[in-house]
Amino acid sequence: MNVIILGSPGVGKGTYAKILSEKYKIPRISSGDLFREAIRDETELGKKIKEYVSRGDLVPDEIVIKIVKDRLEKDDCKDGFFLDGFPRTVAQAEAMEKFKKIDKVLNFVASDDVILSRLGGRRTCTKCGAIYHIKEIPPKVEGTCDLCGGKLYQRPDETPEAIKNRLRVYRKKTKPAINYFRRKGLLADINADYPFKKIDKVISQCDEYLQKLVKIT
Domain boundaries, the chain: 2-111+165-216
> CA torsion angle for 19, 20, 21, 26 (degrees, to 10)?
160
Catalytic annotation, pick one of 88, 104, 118, 123:
88
Residue 33 pLDDT level (bands cut at 50, 70, 90): confident
**Residue 88 a catalytic site member:** yes
In this predicted model, what pLDDT tens digit does every residue of 59-94 receive, in sequence order?
A: 888 888 999 999 999 999 999 999 998 898 899 999
**Residue 171 a catalytic site member:** no
Catalytic annotation, pick one of 18, 48, 66, 166:
166
| Among the listed residues 191, 169, 192, 183, the one whose alpha carbon sits nearest the alpha carbon of residue 93 | 183
Catalytic annotation, pick one of 13, 28, 104, 118:
13
H-type alpha helices, 42-148: 44-55, 61-72, 90-96, 112-120
Give 215 or 186, the one with higher predicted confidence: 186
Catalytic annotation, pick one of 104, 118, 122, 123:
122
Percentage of the chain exceeding pLDDT 70: 98
**Residue 155 a catalytic site member:** yes
How many whole angstroms separate alpha carbon 203 and alpha carbon 79?
21
- Is it the case that residue 19 has pLDDT exceeding 60? yes
- Is it the case that residue 217 has pLDDT exceeding 60? no
Domain 2-111+165-216 belongs to what architecture? 3-Layer(aba) Sandwich (3.40)
Residue 216 pLDDT level (bands cut at 50, 70, 90): low
Catalytic annotation, pick one of 155, 164, 173, 212:
155
In this predicted model, what pLDDT tens digit does every residue of 80-132 receive, in sequence order?
A: 999 998 898 899 999 999 999 999 999 999 998 898 888 888 899 999 988 89
**Sign for the pseudo-dihedral over CA of 160, 88, 46, 67:** positive
How many whole angstroms separate alpha carbon 11 and alpha carbon 199?
12
